[in-house]
Amino acid sequence: MPSQPLIGVTTYFTRARWGAAWDLRAALLPGDYPHHIQRAGGLAVMLPPDDPATAEALVRRLDGLVLAGGEDLDPALYGATPHPRTGPPVPERDRWELALLDAALRQGVPLLGICRGMQLMNVHAGGALNQHLPETVGHKDHNPRVGVFSHHRVEPVAWTRMGQLLAAPAQVATHHHQGVSRLGTGLIASAHAEDGTIEAIEYPGDCFRVGVQWHPEADDDLRVITALIHATTAR
């Protein structure tokens, strides 16, 4: 049996309560992320924030990288002032994940950015974010209820990697109030929502370097994560 690829998933520190009395700072990751990777044939390992100087060595040990969803990025990273609806910055996570992303791009490690992870890819490439989509698109369909995934339709761009993966419009799990406003250098938009919001981005070329604004781990559709797993065997 061929060895299973090792897929690192970013996580974050936050206060958590569990058991009879524990209330401590914890490295947290929703269980759907590792389960999704495992179902696609990978081995999942959590990557809590660390010294960015260690990112290069860590990524060398990985076969693939998933940049998980979570808190809003610090608007200072793309030269903006915080919107009233933007969450407080989490600099230790921003620095760590930018370092991991930078290392993965340099080393040619396949990567998938999910929600915040896609936004991080865009900002890393010099792009910018819309800090509160409802003010631009005129509705709350991307995040109608905080803490609950809803679904909306995305249209892939036919000639892109995402277009090949999805082949047709798809219903995807969504939970975000921010999105891409200015696309980063070298990236292409490879899927859109019906309101025009960019829902997937990717770097052209043979290496799998894709970001999706939706949450594939919240659904049974394994096409995106399976593509990442397959890409690790092609290195």
The question of whether 115 is a catalytic residue gets the answer yes
Rounded CA-CA distance 198/191 in Å is 6
The question of whether 207 is a catalytic residue gets the answer no
Cβ atoms 114, 172 nearer than 8 A = no
**Model confidence over 199-226: pLDDT tens digits?**
999 999 999 999 999 999 999 999 999 9
As its CATH architecture, domain 6-233 has: 3-Layer(aba) Sandwich (3.40)
Please give the backbone phi and psi of residue 77, each rounded to the nearest 5 degrees, phi first.
-65, -25
Confidence band, pLDDT 50/70/90 cuts, at residue 1: very low
Could you tell me the strand order of the sheet in which 64-67 lies? 43-47, 6-10, 64-67, 111-114, 209-212, 198-202, 188-193, 150-156, 170-174
Rounded CA-CA distance 103/114 in Å is 18
**Model confidence over 49-106: pLDDT tens digits?**
999 999 999 999 999 999 999 999 999 999 999 999 999 999 999 999 999 999 999 9
Q: Where are the domains of the chain?
A: 6-233
Given 115, 124, 176, 202, the catalytic residue: 115
H or E stretch at 145:
none
**Model confidence over 139-191: pLDDT tens digits?**
999 999 999 999 999 999 999 999 999 999 999 999 999 999 999 999 999 99
What is the β-pairing status of strands 188-193 and 198-202? antiparallel
Structure tokens at 25: 């700072």
Rounded CA-CA distance 198/35 in Å is 27
